[in-house]
Amino acid sequence: MVLVPHLLALGLYGLATALALAPFAGLRPAPRALTLGAPLSGATAHVVGVAQLTPVGVAPVLSILALFLMLLQVMSERVFRASAVALFTGPLATGLVGLALLIGLGPGAEPSGGGNAWFILHVTLSVLGLALLALAFITAALYLLQFRELKSKRFGQVFRLFPPLERLDRLNHVALVAGFPTLTLGVLLALGYAVRYAGGMHVDPAQIVWGSFTWAVLGSAVWMRVVRHWAGRRAAFASIAGFVAVVLVYLALKLAEPGTQRFL
């Protein structure tokens, strides 16, 4: 019963991606009900699938990340009318669900200590924080593309279909400011879980390194935006650099100790 909802979600995310890409291929934009309906329906099926997973291992985490990305896509379109976000979130979520299915979404190992609720909350909040960091990266990339279009006076598809610069900058700000406390709470829950339930449990240094690094990156980005009042292009470059560093560090740590049973 894990596979069917995931396959359904994969199909609907694929459809949502095709709808997002259609205007760039010169086709008429789909009605808003459809561009919102397809990812929402996919996310609904996805929730059913994710609810049956134990969030241990690479595949379940990728699946949860894809779900959050799709929900953030819907939020971006609904609240900020930034439908271009789907250009990134659509293929990314589709790819992540596909990859999770390829790796295998069988029943995972129970986390030690029996503190399931703490553990699930820790994973959920941490992955949501990561998804918000990814959204900050996406809006930053869209910002830079639109900036280049406006400066170079090209007035092509990007000019017409991307949201205004200021709206992308605002969405980047919101993603970072919401992402930092979310990830902080996720990290604190991990500490609480380790102390309360998993005493004597072996925690891989890679988990500590990557978790701390991601938290520090997100914290720095928020500090630059909120305290140093960075905005626009400078903030966009910082968001992109931060996200790329987080992904590269993860890949480096994963290469050092391959395997899909554990996220790290």
Chain positions contacting other proteins, by CB under 8 A: 28, 146, 150-151, 153, 155, 159-160, 162, 164-167, 170, 229-234
Rounded distance, CA 137 to CA 25, Å?
24
Shortest Å distance, C-beta 80 to other proteins: 9
Distances (CA, A) of 207 to 166, 185, 230: 36, 16, 30
- Specify the residue, 110 or 155, whose C-beta has the smaller distance to other proteins: 155
- How far is Cα 69 from Cα 135, in angstroms, rounded to an integer? 8
Rg of the chain, C-alpha, whole Å: 19
Tokens coding 225: 């935006």
Give the integer Cα–Cα distance in Å for 55 and 121: 10
Comparing CB distances to other proteins, the nearer of 11 and 232 is: 232
> Which among 185, 86, 68, 192 is positioned nearest to 127, based on CA atoms?
68
CB of 3 vs other proteins, minimal distance in Å = 41
Q: Pick between residue 202 and residue 229 the one whose CB is nearest to other proteins.
A: 229
> Least distance to other proteins from the beta carbon of 28, Å?
7
Shortest distance, position 27 Cβ to other proteins, whole Å: 11
Enumerate residues 6+ apart whose C-beta is below 8 A from 223: none
Residue indicated by tokens 């879980």: 193
Would you say 151 or 202 has its CB closer to other proteins?
Answer: 151
Q: Minimum CB separation from other proteins for residue 218, in Å?
A: 22
Q: How far apart are CA 45 and CA 239, in angstroms?
A: 31
Q: How far is the CB of 85 from other proteins (least distance, A)?
A: 15
Q: Which is nearer to other proteins, 6 or 167 (CB)?
A: 167
- Closest to 19 in 3D by CA, of 10, 8, 11, 29: 29
Question: Closest CB to other proteins among 23 and 186?
Answer: 23
